[in-house]
Structure 1
Amino acid sequence: MDIAHLLWNSVPPWATIAFFAVDLVIRLLALGTIPHNRRPSAAWGWLLVIFFFPILGGLVYLVLGRADLPEARKAKQREAAGLVDAHGPGTGAQEVREMPDWLAETVRLNQHNGAFPVAGGHRLEVLDDYDASLAVMAETIRGARHYVHFEFYIAVADPTTEPVIAALEDAHDRGVTVRVLIDHLGSVGYPGYQDLVRRLDGVGIDWRRMLPVRPWRGEYQRPDLRNHRKVLVVDGVVAFTGSQNVIDRSYNKAKNKRQHLQWIGMMVRLQGPAVGHLDALFATDWYCETDKMVMGTDRALGANPDRSSPGELVCQVLPSGPGLAQESNQQLFNHLFASARERITVCSPYFVPDDSMYNTLRTAVGRGVQVHLYMGETSNHALTHHAQRSFYEMLIRDGIRIHLYRSPYVLHSKFVLIDDETAVVGSSNMDIRSFVLDHEVNLMVVSADFVGRLDEIVTGYRRNSHELALEDWLARPWYQKYLDNTARLTSALQ
């Protein structure tokens, strides 16, 4: 008699009956509750997990199954949303009177989904050199006279970020009001985070963790609902946003250093009315973490003495995330893809489209639009990377051209170019996490010159990439195909 048989005979009959009863109840409850107000692909994904692993899957669903914030948190967001109405384009904003019909529709869609008003009168500078962008941010902080608002998904103190952290300390010492927001789980696992916390506390800088997960302190929400935004505002006059975190290009992980991984990011430095809109977004997030409104105080201090229009570009700031209009960034991208007449260029480290985005892109190809995707050959998120790879064959067969940036570089820039006049840059990836689970911010820019500047960056990316050929992709080893296909089953979970 084998060990398994002995163990089975030692289990009391009531325990066996109870186990199978619980198993059956979990499956039946899942069938009737999981599909409620959920897209079918996501429902099928969760049902598959629970039907394979009823008890474990049920527990995971209880923790991660609702892409929703606590009611108290959502109430704070609604209360702070008044800042959007109170902080419109402002003095110096150029009214945008003439727009093509499709662009006017885009602006209306964005505002319906919680975007700030579209406005002219902007000047933008693209910063695509990783270390140089940190240096520019540090220099801007050192010139602050009134306040600095600093909000990043990942921020640490390390030799690469030292100019930025030292500039924050120096600004605080000079009497400048410095407020810092850092995503809790986004930053806590990276070397240098504790050093940053000690330095902020040591000099008395006012800082908070965004969306903290510390149940022992009464701070808890679904742990994978994160604030993924990157925003820096100085004196209400200059702002930065984009895809780059405040951390060394290796992200300081020993594994990354062994593989010689180096991140490639991009930030935008801007002046004009959108600076105030990004500041209002910071104020909203600050209120959610502190219960304190900051914008009225800063205006009373005379922090924004010069509102003259610094440029000519047309911009619109679009925040997104749990508690806001559902999947507003995805709606924007799908609308732009459907509006394209000549070309679509997408640069994203994570491209895992749902059915709507995939069909919109393949339809664009059918209309004669050229579609180019720029992604990394390697990634630090294995599950998402394999899920992304599972779409390559379909995309290539549909006429979409895929360019993979050569390892060991991790392409982390995030932008979309539509024809020759419209761009969207920001923090949003092209996956369900950025569309549903993360707080993001994107900047839509209407300017042929700005698109041309990003085209120059794309040309550089193309020189360091290889275009994926279908025959080469089909020849990859069977075990890679298995991993890709298995990971794809997780791509719809939300």
Structure 2
Amino acid sequence: MPRIDLITATPLASAIKRKSWIAIVFLVIEYLIKVAAIGIVPENRKTGSSFAWLMLILFVPVIGLPLFLLLGSPYVRGRRHKLQGEMNDLITSQAKTHPLSEQYTRDIPGVDSIVAANRRLASLPLVTGRNEGLHGTYDDAIREMARAVDEARSTVHVEFYIMAWDDTTDVFFTALADAVKRGVTVRLLFDHIGTRGYPGYGEFKRRLTAAGIQWHPMMPIDLLHGRWRRPDLRNHRKLLVIDGRRGFMGSQNMIDSGYLKPKHARVGRHWKDLNIEVTGPIVDSLSAVFAIDWYTETNEAVPFEAYDPDDDVASSDRHDGAFQLVPSGPGFPTEPNLRMFVSLMHRAQHKLIITSPYFIPEDSLLTAITTAAYRGVEVELFVSEQADQFMVQHAQRSYYATLLDAGVKIYLYPKPTVLHAKHFTVDDEISVIGSSNMDMRSFALDYEIMLLGFGASLASELRTIQDGYRSASRLLTREAWSKEPWYRRYVDNVMRLTSDLQ
């Protein structure tokens, strides 16, 4: 039997012992992280989101924990949270319900409580206004906004998630530059991350400055100047206000309909959007949203009230509907847009028609939609045949079987067009239109605005738009869906899990 040299064996044994202790320490830390996560992650978080985060942390803690620490909270904190609360209190105390607005909701059962909830959660009141028209043709919508800017006398307030000064949008930015030359004050906001990824970003900023336009990025991330925040919290709103008297809002960004990407040009992909133009007291609500966002980024207060409700009491012919603007986002932990959507869908009695480019519904929303269908409500859903985002496309598809089984009619708008409009109608008498998708991101991570409308004019125009979608789309049947290959459904289900990481 060979003799063991204790002098050489001792260092080896010590090294093995040290490695064992290191492994034990790491194992203990890993389990402590997992145990802590089980009690911390679900706090004030939806069940689906909690499970998604816990799965990531428990199975891949080295990735899951840093991601949760970086992205785990869907709400803003600190200064932005404080400012949002202060401005909500200010708006609640100053903005009044228009005396004539309630006549438009008097004969619609159940909506008074929904309007009251919107006021409590998002501060803005029900007011009157005039629908000046829907703009559903991309380039024409930009030209209509430019036309309105050409008539500006005092102020133009511009806020879009994505902007680019390209051949398509040149007419709009030229109108802004001309307005400045006339002495009009032009204030402009764009989302920093949303805009900077598109060609010509640096030149875009230089041209704005040269034109005399006051501009600022929203939710900026600038490490060199100590500006940092969660990169996935964005301002997704789209609005334009001229002189506090005329407003535009909807789903459309201020960029070419192909988004200046070669991959879209190769397949002929363009975005199809829908905007609404309004006048009357409802424009004050749009002005208020812009004023909050402008003050948050610049510390400059701008007025947001141009109408005195008492001025219009005797002139009801100037209004063709009642409207309520519902802002939402990381500054609104109660998710006002989601609650409004769910409440209205539960209220549907005859017909519910939904258009959403990224349809990944939260559980309560999916339940509201399918319950409406089971109750005998005619439910139609318009989505793109092929979305522009791989993960979203497959996550959205994972809901089709449940919807089809409930009797929901799913219409696929033909590719390569991306149906990017965001709106729905209830019983041909309640209309909702704006910037919010029906997905987790729009409910919690993005600042959005939706317009709730009561009145025949808007509902009738939206019905015409929906009829156009239907005639151009392909109806997805349960039989056709059952023939989808298993591997696509597998990918659909995997991508569905990622939608809850918020």
For structure 2, the 5+ residue unaligned runs are: 1-15
> Partner of 1:152 in structure 2?
160
> Partner of 2:100 in structure 1?
94
Q: Is 1:391 the counterpart of 2:388 in the alignment?
A: no
- Secondary structure of the 2:235 match is coil
Q: Is 1:245 the counterpart of 2:253 in the alignment?
A: yes
Q: How far apart are residue 157 of structure 1 and its match?
A: 0.8
Counterpart code for 1:32 = G
Conserved? CA contact 1:83–1:284, under 8 Å: no
Q: Aligned partners of 1:65, 1:41: CA distance in 2, in Å? A: 14
> Partner of 2:336 in structure 1?
328
Conserved? CA contact 2:321–2:457, under 8 Å: no
Q: Is 1:17 the counterpart of 2:17 in the alignment?
A: no
Conserved? CA contact 1:115–1:316, under 8 Å: no
Q: Aligned partners of 2:91, 2:417: CA distance in 1, in Å? A: 38
1:211-290 matches, cutoff 5 A = 211-290=219-298
> Partner of 2:13 in structure 1?
none
For structure 1, the 5+ residue unaligned runs are: 1-8
Aligned CA RMSD, in angstroms, stands at: 2.2
Conserved? CA contact 1:123–1:272, under 8 Å: no
Q: Is 1:379 the counterpart of 2:387 in the alignment?
A: yes
Q: Aligned partners of 1:316, 1:78: CA distance in 2, in Å? A: 19
Q: Aligned partners of 1:250, 1:21: CA distance in 2, in Å? A: 52
Q: How far apart are residue 201 of structure 1 and its match?
A: 1.7
Between 331-340 and 209-218, report the one with greater CA deviation.
209-218
Q: Aligned partners of 1:463, 1:456: CA distance in 2, in Å? A: 11
Q: Aligned partners of 2:125, 2:276: CA distance in 1, in Å? A: 19
Q: How far apart are residue 218 of structure 1 and its match?
A: 1.9
Q: 1:208 aligns with which of 213, 216, 223?
A: 216
Counterpart code for 1:66 = S
* Bigger-Rg structure (1/2): 2
Q: Are the structure 2 counterparts of residues 71 and 99 from structure 1 closer, same or farther at C-alpha, using a change threshold of 3 Å?
A: farther
Q: 2:440 aligns with which of 421, 432, 438?
A: 432
1:324-346 alpha-carbon deviations (Å, 9 max, x no partner): 25111111011111111101000
- Secondary structure of the 2:102 match is coil
Q: Aligned partners of 2:200, 2:348: CA distance in 1, in Å? A: 43
Q: How far apart are residue 363 of structure 1 and its match?
A: 1.4
Counterpart code for 1:59 = P
Q: Aligned partners of 1:14, 1:186: CA distance in 2, in Å? A: 48
Counterpart code for 1:191 = P
Q: How far apart are residue 48 of structure 1 and its match?
A: 0.8
Between 205-214 and 116-125, report the one with greater CA deviation.
116-125
Conserved? CA contact 2:146–2:171, under 8 Å: yes
1:369-399 alpha-carbon deviations (Å, 9 max, x no partner): 0110000011122112211100101110111
Q: Aligned partners of 1:159, 1:368: CA distance in 2, in Å? A: 48
Q: How far apart are residue 175 of structure 1 and its match?
A: 1.1
Q: Aligned partners of 2:393, 2:359: CA distance in 1, in Å? A: 8
Conserved? CA contact 2:433–2:452, under 8 Å: yes
1:55-82 alpha-carbon deviations (Å, 9 max, x no partner): 1111011110001112111112222234
1:284-433 matches, cutoff 5 A = 284-295=292-303, 310-433=318-441
Q: How far apart are residue 152 of structure 1 and its match?
A: 0.4
1:66-215 matches, cutoff 5 A = 66-85=73-92, 87-88=94-95, 94-97=100-103, 98-215=106-223
Counterpart code for 2:81 = K
Conserved? CA contact 1:350–1:429, under 8 Å: yes
Counterpart code for 1:94 = L
Q: How many corresponding residue pairs?
A: 481
Q: How far apart are residue 95 of structure 1 and its match?
A: 4.0
Q: 2:54 aligns with which of 47, 51, 63?
A: 47
Counterpart code for 1:247 = I
Q: Aligned partners of 1:269, 1:100: CA distance in 2, in Å? A: 24
Q: Aligned partners of 1:372, 1:285: CA distance in 2, in Å? A: 35
Between 11-20 and 65-74, report the one with greater CA deviation.
11-20
Q: Aligned partners of 1:491, 1:177: CA distance in 2, in Å? A: 41
Q: How far apart are residue 289 of structure 1 and its match?
A: 0.5
- Secondary structure of the 2:501 match is coil
> Partner of 2:473 in structure 1?
465
1:188-231 alpha-carbon deviations (Å, 9 max, x no partner): 11123333211112233211111112233221221111111101
Q: How far apart are residue 89 of structure 1 and its match?
A: 5.2
Conserved? CA contact 1:152–1:183, under 8 Å: yes
Counterpart code for 1:64 = L
Conserved? CA contact 1:80–1:287, under 8 Å: no
Q: Aligned partners of 1:49, 1:222: CA distance in 2, in Å? A: 19
Over the matched positions of the two proteins, sequence identity in percent amounts to 40
Counterpart code for 1:381 = Q
- Secondary structure of the 1:113 match is helix
Conserved? CA contact 1:89–1:274, under 8 Å: no
- Secondary structure of the 1:454 match is helix
Q: Aligned partners of 2:373, 2:274: CA distance in 1, in Å? A: 28
> Partner of 1:6 in structure 2?
none
> Partner of 2:38 in structure 1?
31
Conserved? CA contact 2:194–2:234, under 8 Å: yes
Conserved? CA contact 2:101–2:322, under 8 Å: no
Q: Are the structure 2 counterparts of residues 426 and 67 from structure 1 closer, same or farther at C-alpha, using a change threshold of 3 Å?
A: same
1:301-351 alpha-carbon deviations (Å, 9 max, x no partner): x9x9x9776322111111111122511111101111111110100000011
> Partner of 1:450 in structure 2?
458
Q: How far apart are residue 290 of structure 1 and its match?
A: 0.8
Q: How far apart are residue 87 of structure 1 and its match?
A: 4.9
